[in-house]
Structure 1
Amino acid sequence: MFFAGRGRRIINSHSSSVHLAGNIPHITPTYRKEGFADVARWISLDPDNETFIYRRFNQLGARNLLYLQSELLAIEKQLDELDKNDALSDDMTLKDSARTWEILMDLYDDGNTDAKARMDLIVKLRAMLKEYHETVLLQSEILRLKRLHQRALDAYRHWFQKPYPVLGGQAKTSLDDASDLTVLNMPPETDYLSTFLRLHWPARPELSRDGLQNIGVFNESSISRAVALITIFVAAIVLIGPITSLYYATNDAAKLGLVTGFTALFALSVGLMTNARRAEIFGATAA
């Protein structure tokens, strides 16, 4: 299935020599948005949504989990101390409250200090444990987000930083650490061949819709079609090549070499032209 979007990358042409494509209307705003509004507008212009690039804040996420974990460790220690006090207490009612919820509630309603301390700790535990588990699950989802392609980041940085940062304060450093950035929407194909073609595909110089920036634009569907054609061509070679070559081979050594070569070519083509995992490549090659 072809993806009819557009890709972006920086090109080395001057905006004064570029004209908008006829199929993209150029709307001149009555005023120019500034700051966060301008950045949000630019991000939303990309039909592929590859410019939805944001910080992961991995270090802060890890630190937050450490704080929550430490709070739970403190609660765990306090509960252990209460359990120890109940076990060593001569108060049989207090001992019974350790195994019977209704008795614990009755003592709490009567204002018993030990029961109140335990109930307050239980309520705190519920809230903290819920927050901790939700944060752990959310952080695991964040860590599974894909890392962005350098092409999209270069285009974003070029627009964001020149001639001066669009945002001030600490926000102007938001794109500095590429290892901590993620993109919310990846291109439809992320195999090595598609990535290579995106970096070298002829781009049409075009002004952005605000008429201020010069961006190289290409149709994502062209990439998909090119990948499909190359894949079909290579598949035909891998399929027909061994049959033809083995037919003309005259000795066993040559036949063995041909089988080895075409097997390696098949594995290499699967690895470069598809998103297959290592186990899938191994299985396909073995078959």
Structure 2
Amino acid sequence: MSPRSTRRQRVSPQPAPYQKEGYAAVAHWVSLDRDNEGFVFRKFDELAARNLLYLQSEILHLEGRLRELDEQDVASDDMALKDAARTWEVLVEKVEAGDDAAKKRMRLIEDVRMKLKEYHERLLLQSEIAKLPRPSKRVLAAYRGWFKTPPALGGRAKTFLDDRDDLVATNNAMEADYLSRFLRQHWPAKEDIPTDGCYVIGRFNEDAVRVAVGIINTIVAAVLLVGPISGLYLVQSDKSKLAMIAAFTATFALTVGLLTNARRAEIFGATAAYAAVLVVFVSGDLSSS
């Protein structure tokens, strides 16, 4: 999905079989893309942090009350109280017998249990949300262009796309290498019929981009292996061979960095292996000469 033009000559909108308005229209537009690139939403980082701080403060308060009970248990000479602090079954019996102190302790334990569960669940959810990527500039430009001309939603909802740093894309399977980005920007797309006659959105199949990237990577890999071997076989000068190895190795490292999602450590490893292959290929000739 990409914006094809921000402004075009006004055309007569074609009637749709079923017109939608407001949230229904936005939901329909978001779901049109088969790759789910339009699933872009606010993640509310500030509110999430504030909620975690509130929960943390509640647990700190409960922790303080537990410590007060612990200090009472240590300082008390009541053996029944110490037994209730040491043995779970005794505490349960006291609760069932209607002991107020035991009931208070049990309620505090249950509150701690519930708040800790809620707090840990929120921490885990927040850690998963933090792993989700931000929407690409291409997708966000298309979304904003359609969403704001004219505004699809009213009230505060019409501003939810303004802050890109607080947006999250649920589709995190998109290839982020430079080649994939370039192809997405220039891939032939089927244009949506504009609802306002002004803004046109182009949609394309992400699977086709992946296939094209795979084919290009295969061809480049073959060229970077067959080409240097053929060149090194034909060149007789040792100095020229060493210069060619350096040039081909640098080209390979640059290609891996641009055409793949390899990390820096993986680029170093692949480049070292590639250089080793070339060196082994010519080492016999260099040593004999």
Task: Give TM-score scaled by structure 2 length.
Answer: 0.85
Residues 283 and 27 of structure 1: CA distance in aligned 2, closer, same or farther (over 3 Å) = farther
Q: CA deviation at 1:53?
A: 0.6
Equivalent pair of 2:39/2:169 in contact (CA under 8 Å):
yes
Match of 1:262 in 2: 248
| SS class of match (1:232) | helix
Aligned counterpart for 1:101 among listed residues 88, 104, 107: 88
Matches within 5 A, 1:88-237: 88-163=75-150, 165-186=151-172, 188-207=174-193, 214-237=200-223
Residues 261 and 35 of structure 1: CA distance in aligned 2, closer, same or farther (over 3 Å) = same
Residues 10 and 186 of structure 1: CA distance in aligned 2, closer, same or farther (over 3 Å) = farther
Match of 1:46 in 2: 33
State percent identity of aligned pairs.
Answer: 54
Equivalent pair of 1:197/1:223 in contact (CA under 8 Å):
yes
**Cα distance per residue 1:252-279 (max 9 Å; x no partner):** 3332221122112112222221222223
Match of 2:73 in 1: 86
Match of 2:5 in 1: 11
Match of 1:284 in 2: 270
Match of 2:283 in 1: none
**Cα distance per residue 1:137-192 (max 9 Å; x no partner):** 111111111221111111110011113x2111111111011111111124643322
**Cα distance per residue 1:180-227 (max 9 Å; x no partner):** 11111246433221011112334454425x685521233434423432
The answer to whether structure 1 residue 29 and structure 2 residue 17 are counterparts is: yes
| SS class of match (1:83) | helix
Q: CA deviation at 1:111?
A: 3.2
5+ residue gaps in structure 1? Answer: 1-6, 20-25
Q: CA deviation at 1:60?
A: 1.3
Residues 12 and 157 of structure 1: CA distance in aligned 2, closer, same or farther (over 3 Å) = closer
Segment drifting more, 8-17 vs 32-41: 8-17
> 1 CA distance for matches of 2:86 and 2:211?
69
Residues 198 and 246 of structure 1: CA distance in aligned 2, closer, same or farther (over 3 Å) = same
> 2 CA distance for matches of 1:184 and 1:54?
8
Aligned residues, how many?
272
Segment drifting more, 174-183 vs 256-265: 256-265
Aligned counterpart for 2:239 among listed residues 246, 253, 262: 253
- List structure 1 segments (4+ residues) > 6 angstroms apart after TM superposition: none
Aligned counterpart for 2:42 among listed residues 52, 55, 70: 55
User: Of Structure 1 and Structure 2, which has the larger fraction of its residues in helix?
Assistant: 2
Q: Which amino acid aligns with 2:47?
A: L
**Cα distance per residue 1:102-143 (max 9 Å; x no partner):** 221222233333222211100101110111111111111111
Aligned counterpart for 1:64 among listed residues 32, 51, 56: 51
> 2 CA distance for matches of 1:274 and 1:72?
46
Equivalent pair of 1:145/1:184 in contact (CA under 8 Å):
yes
Match of 1:240 in 2: 226
Equivalent pair of 2:188/2:204 in contact (CA under 8 Å):
yes
